Amino acid sequence: HYEMQGDHLKNTKGYEGYVAMQEMANQNVNAMIEFFMSIQVWGTPEQCYDRIVNFTSRTGAGAYNGVFSYAGMPYEDAEKSMRLFAKEVMPEVKKLPGAPLMELARAAE
C-alpha cells in the first residue's frame, strides 16, 4: 500500500526507512522477506512471548497490536491462532512490568 517500487518516497521526509527497505527489496528479495519475518510476532506461544518481550524492551512500546490473519488465511486458522494467543501468551504478558498488552487484554475480557 506504500507503492514501494515508485520514486515518490525518495524525497518524502520521514519515509527514509521505506526507501531503505525498497533498496533492500531491489537488491535481495530474500533479505527483505527475512527482515519482515524478523519484526513479526509468530511461532510457538513461548516464542511469541519472547518476541513481544524483546520488542517492548528494545522499543519502549506500551502496546502490542496482534494480527492473526495473513494473506487469505482461512478464518478458522486465524481464530485458532488468536484463541491460542489469548489463552497461552496474553496471561503471561499481562504479568510484565508496564503490561504492554493492557489495551489488548482489556478488549479480550
Q: What is the pLDDT of residue 76?
A: 97
Residues 50, 28 within the same domain: no
Residues 28, 51 within the same domain: no
Instruction: Give the residue numbers spanning the domain of 76.
Output: 42-108
Residues 46, 74 within the same domain: yes
Residues 32, 1 within the same domain: yes
Residues 86, 64 within the same domain: yes
pTM: 0.67
Instruction: Give CA 95 to chain center in angstroms.
Output: 20
Q: What is the pLDDT of residue 59?
A: 83
Measure the CA–CA gap between 73 and 22, rounded to whole angstroms.
26
Domain count, the chain: 2
Identify the band that residue 21 occupies on the pLDDT scale cut at 50, 70 and 90: confident
Residues 34, 11 within the same domain: yes
Instruction: Work out the average pLDDT over 64-88.
Output: 93
Grid cell locating 43: 511461532
Residues 75, 29 within the same domain: no
Q: Give tens-digit pLDDT for 22-33.
A: 887 778 888 878
